[in-house]
Amino acid sequence: DAGVIQSPRHEVTEMGQEVTLRCKPISGHDYLFWYRQTMMRGLELLIYFNNNVPIDDSGMPEDRFSAKMPNASFSTLKIQPSEPRDSAVYFCASSPFGEGRGDTQYFGPGTRLTVL
Amino acid sequence: GDSVTQMEGPVTLSEEAFLTINCTYTATGYPSLFWYVQYPGEGLQLLLKATKADDKGSNKGFEATYRKETTSFHLEKGSVQVSDSAVYFCALGGSGGSYIPTFGRGTSLIVHP
C-alpha cells in the first residue's frame, strides 16, 4: 500500500484566498483524522471521521475551516478565507478499526501551508 | 480529561549513549499507549505500542513498558545513533471508550557523532 497520500506537499497563498488540502487514506481504514502542527501549539486534532461521517469537529478553530469526506478514499480540509495565523503543517492520518481502545494511526507526509 | 506529559527537549546525546525519554499520562480506564517518531520533513510514524499493563513494546532497539501503577510509559534505548535524531511523541488512545487520541508535546532528540 502507498500509505496515506496528501496533496499538495507545499502551499503558499495570500491572505484571503481559499485553500484546499487533500487526503487519500489507506484503503480499508475506518477512521480519518486531520491534525495541525505548529511550534507554539504542537499537534492539534482538528476533526475526525468514522466511515466517512464526521464524529468530532470540536478542534476546528473557527468557521473558516471545513472538512468533508465524500467517500472512503478521499477527504478535504478547506480554509476560506485563509489568514497568516493558519500557517502550519497539516497532517492527515488514518486508522483501522481497533478494539475500541485506540489503534495505530498512519500519518501522511503533511502539507506545509504558508499564508502571506 | 486525558493528558500526556513528556519531558521537554531538546535531549542532546553523543552517539552510543543511553536514552530515556519520560512520559506520564492521566486517563480514564485502560488506554493503549504509543510512541511515535517524526523525522524532519515527515509525518509521524509508529515506533512501538503497548495495549495493557506490564506489556513491553519494542522496535529498532527502543523499548517502553506500560506501567499502570506509575502511569508511565518511558522510552529507552541502550545505544543511540545519529540516525535516531528526531522528535518523539508519546500518545494514548482509546481511553474510556473514546477513540480520540491524545498526544504529548513531543521531545526532540539530537544525537552527535
Rounded CA separation A44/A22 (Å): 18
Cβ distance B90 to B6 under 8 Å?
yes
**pLDDT score recorded for residue A98:** 62
User: Closest Cα partner for A80 from A69, A64, A92?
Assistant: A64
Determine, for residues A43 and B103 on separate chains, whether the beta-carbon distance falls below 8 Å: yes
In this complex, which of A45, A55, A102 lies closest to B31 when CB atoms are compared? Answer: A102
Interface with chain A: mutation pick from B25, B44, B107, highest number of A CBs within 10 Å: B44
Cβ distance A10 to A115 under 8 Å? no
Give yes or no for a contact between B107 and B93, defined as CB atoms under 8 angstroms apart: no
pLDDT, tens only, B12-54: 999 999 999 999 999 877 888 999 999 999 999 999 999 889 9
Residues 6 or more apart in contact with residue A95 via CB below 8 angstroms = A29, A30, A31, A32, A33, A103, A104, A105, A106
Longest alpha-carbon distance in chain B: 44
Cβ pair B43:A4 closer than 8 A: yes
- Number of residue pairs across A and B with CB atoms under 8 Å? 65
Q: What is the DSSP letter of B87?
A: E
Our CA-based measurement puts residue A103 at a distance from the nearest CA of chain B, in whole angstroms, of 7
Contact of B4 with chain A, judged by CB distance below 8 Å, is answered with: no
Q: pLDDT digits over A51-98, tens only?
A: 999 998 999 988 999 999 999 999 999 999 999 999 999 999 998 876
